[in-house]
Amino acid sequence: MELYMPLWKIVKRPLLPIRDSWQDAMPLVLLFVLMSVAAWGAYRLQGSKRQWVRRGTQVAAALVFVVFLHRCLCALRGWVFGLELMGRNNLIAFAHMAIFIIVMAFTIGMGRLFCGWLCPLGAASEAMRWITRWRERLGKRRALISGYLMLAGLLILIAWLAWMVAPDTGFFAENVAALWGVGLLVLLFFALPRAEDDARLKRVKYVSAIGWLGLSVIGVFVTNPWCVLMGDELDYSSMVSILAVLSGGMIVSMAWCRYLCPLGATVGLLALLSPIKIRNSLSPEQCTDCGQCRQVCPMNALDRTQVDHTSCIYCGQCTNTCGFHFENELARGESEAEVGET
């Protein structure tokens, strides 16, 4: 007699559409692989080897997501789309949400590696740092004047381009990426003269994230600077916006990532939950305030021995200066417990 076992399955189709369309699944698989390489490089390697692997991961991520795979990586918008589609087309809902889930899971487990090791926009912004560093070497006054001159010129150019590419209909809805770019340059007018306001201005990114999500929820198709890199169609508004992001990065290091990126704001908060963080083994009294660590940090996340964990992108550059290192709080807790027991 044949044994009959009634089985009730919740998932009737494979969650990842690998068998039928491996191309659809590839961005997710590659994102997972690249995040794993980043975690290995960040926590297993040291010094220049770590930085070489980081550069390699950034280049690989750029090739994978910009050149080979035209798949939108907009994790926040995808998340909203996915929620909307759940129950109607679970497979597509999953495809939209999986990018955010992978980034979120790695960020909670391993820290904000996505920003410092993978994001092509972050890598491009970081590449602009040579200009900010060159300006810093001119001295404070000249750096400020050159910054204002560049900013004024760029703001006029970007605002004009944003106006030129604006569609006749849905000005706001279809031009939102360009407007975000203009907003970034306006913000830099406040950031440039007063370094002490940096921490306050960094909070603007939370407003940006709420606005971004809010617009997605009410049905505005929110494009962003990534779209022109990741999408498979030319979106002029995104092009203007990416120009603003890159030129903003010449005026203030990683300006977009520091002040306005909605995804960066979200993963920055999630990274607070991660057990792996940058710490300094020096006590505040041992720190001589030489400023070496501040000079290398692209996000201005360091204040003597203190780290702003919502801004840190886990690039590891400060670990080559005194006392800073990646620390796994779980491992520290275990070793402290072992010491306590002995």
- State the amino acid at position 80 in one-letter form: V
CB of 176 to ligand SF4, least distance (A): 16
Size of site (CB under 6 A) for ligand SF4: 24
Answer yes or no whether residue 53 interacts with ligand SF4 by CB under 6 A.
no
Q: Which stretch binds ligand SF4 (CB under 6 A): 18-26, 188-196, 231-239, 258-266?
A: 258-266
Q: Which is nearer to ligand SF4, 80 or 297 (CB)?
A: 297
Answer yes or no whether residue 209 interacts with ligand SF4 by CB under 6 A.
no
x/- contact string, 96-115, with ligand SF4 (CB under 6 A)?
-------------------x
Helices (H), 63-128: 75-85, 90-110, 113, 120-127
Which residues ranging from 118 to 157 are in contact with ligand SF4 (CB under 6 A)?
A: 119, 121-122
Q: How many CA atoms lie within 13 A of 232 on its CB side?
A: 4
x/- contact string, 271-290, with ligand SF4 (CB under 6 A)?
-------x------------
Q: Which is nearer to ligand SF4, 175 or 305 (CB)?
A: 305
Residues in contact with 170: Cβ distance below 8 Å, sequence separation at least 6, in sequence order: none
Residue with tokens 């569609």: 167
Answer yes or no whether residue 252 interacts with ligand SF4 by CB under 6 A.
no
First and final CA of the chain: distance in angstroms? 62
Q: Which is nearer to ligand SF4, 166 or 185 (CB)?
A: 185
Residues in contact with 236: Cβ distance below 8 Å, sequence separation at least 6, in sequence order: 165, 178
CB-count exposure of residue 2 (10 Å: 0-12, 13-18, 19+): exposed
Answer yes or no whether residue 297 interacts with ligand SF4 by CB under 6 A.
yes
CB of 321 to ligand SF4, least distance (A): 9
Q: Which is nearer to ligand SF4, 82 or 120 (CB)?
A: 120
Answer yes or no whether residue 31 interacts with ligand SF4 by CB under 6 A.
no
CB 307 within 8 Å of CB 301: yes
Residues in contact with 172: Cβ distance below 8 Å, sequence separation at least 6, in sequence order: 179, 220
Phi first, then psi: give them for residue 299, nearest 5 degrees.
-105, 5
Q: Which is nearer to ligand SF4, 54 or 135 (CB)?
A: 54
Q: Which is nearer to ligand SF4, 129 or 148 (CB)?
A: 129
Phi first, then psi: give them for residue 278, nearest 5 degrees.
-80, 130
What's the rounded Cα separation, in Å, for the pair 227 and 73?
8
Interacting residues with ligand SF4 (CB under 6 A): 115, 119, 121-122, 256-257, 261, 263-264, 278, 296-299, 301-302, 307, 312-318
